[in-house]
Amino acid sequence: MRDITQGRLLLVLSFMTMAFYVWALFFSPREITFLDRTISDWALLIPVLIIVFLFLVVVAWIGWAMATTPPELPLSQKAQNDNEKEEKTTN
């Protein structure tokens, strides 16, 4: 599929999704419920839930990266290691 076709498809799908979201939020019938919530309630709850989960996944990923990254060597040890490496390469 060419880039132009993909771009047009994304454009049409995004406008259709926006129209559906506006309908679900403002014009959906109040009689239709799912788990004691109306469609407009779900139109608000689902995006908020997704945003909160994405934020918490990023925070968890940062915590995992901090927990698994080894600490830096002190400057004196770092200099000794660099000197040892230089001596090994010159010998």
Q: What is the mean pLDDT of each run of 10 residues along the chain (91 residues)?
A: 88 94 86 83 92 97 91 71 69 56
Domain range holding 52?
3-90
- Looking at residue 90, what is its pLDDT? 64
Q: What's this model's pTM, rounded to 2 decimal places?
A: 0.60
Q: How many CB atoms lie under 10 A from the CB of residue 28?
A: 17
Question: Distance between CA atoms of 56 and 60, rounded to whole angstroms?
Answer: 6
Other Cβ atoms within 10 Å of 67 Cβ, number: 7
Give the chain's domain count. Answer: 1
Between CA 88 and CA 91 the distance in angstroms is 5
